[in-house]
Amino acid sequence: MRTRQAAVAARRFLVPALLGGVLAALLAGCGIRPTSVPVDAGSAPSRARCGVKPPPVPREDARLRDVFLVCGPKLALVRRKLEQTAPGAGEQRTAHEELLHYLTTELTPSERADGYTTQVERIAVLPPHRGDPARAVRFDHDPEQLSKEGLAQLVCTFAALSDDRKALLGTAGRLRTYTCTSEVRDLDQP
């Protein structure tokens, strides 16, 4: 009888002691000690849902182009089908105008609901100068006058047309080469 009473007493003591130990471990945290060294862990998570779904895989016959929209603190890729169908000498300007149109017009209701925005203000494509490379895009005013986000959208959208991820953008008087890097797409970078 004594052994049974001893076992019951031991359980009464052991169960609270074990629960107390588990509770203490949970309250102690994850085991990572605080440090005085500053750690840059990037921007805070965004509640924006944009960029969650991967862009659709292009079909062989589709004329899909990458357009970059603002998604929280970053640029996100959206695929758009160009309406232009026949490539030719003057068609490159039409494609450039259409891409710019996608960046300057109202977004679809589903894009707005998912958190996408655009920061490209009204800007127009000018005709190319004689001898301009096909990827050169001239605008009616300097793209550097746009906001940081707007310029990043232009750079990455037009850089997506080339294999080297570079865009040749400018005005009637001057062209400049820009590269769409991860730093450009990360709008939190200074």
* Residues 92, 170 within the same domain: yes
Q: Are 151 and 121 in contact (CB under 8 A)?
A: no
Cα torsion at 129, 132, 136, 138 (round to 10°)? -10
Domain-embedded: residue 49: no
Domain-embedded: residue 41: no
* Residues 99, 180 within the same domain: yes
The number of distinct structural domains making up the chain is 2
Domain-embedded: residue 55: no
Is the pLDDT at 94 greater than 80, yes or no?
A: no
Is the pLDDT at 53 greater than 60, yes or no?
A: no
Domain-embedded: residue 40: no
- Region of poorest pLDDT, from 16-30, 93-107, 120-134: 16-30
* Residues 23, 70 within the same domain: no
Phi, psi of 123 (to 5 degrees): -150, 145
* Residues 87, 181 within the same domain: yes
Q: Which residue has the higher pLDDT, 177 or 64?
A: 177
The predicted pLDDT at position 144 comes to: 93
Domain-embedded: residue 46: no
* Residues 3, 77 within the same domain: no
- Per-residue confidence band for 22, with pLDDT thresholds at 50, 70 and 90: low
Domain-embedded: residue 53: no
Is the pLDDT at 61 greater than 50, yes or no?
A: no
The predicted pLDDT at position 154 comes to: 95
Is the pLDDT at 85 greater than 50, yes or no?
A: no
Tell me if the pTM is above 0.85. Answer: no
Is the pLDDT at 186 greater than 80, yes or no?
A: yes
Of the candidates 172, 175, 180, 132, the residue with the CA atom closest to the CA atom of residue 155: 180
Which structural domain, as residue segments, surrounds residue 141? 64-185
* Residues 100, 145 within the same domain: yes
Domain-embedded: residue 52: no
What does the mean pLDDT of the chain come to?
A: 77
Is the pLDDT at 55 greater than 60, yes or no?
A: no
CA distances from 2 to 5, 10, 125 (A): 5, 12, 95
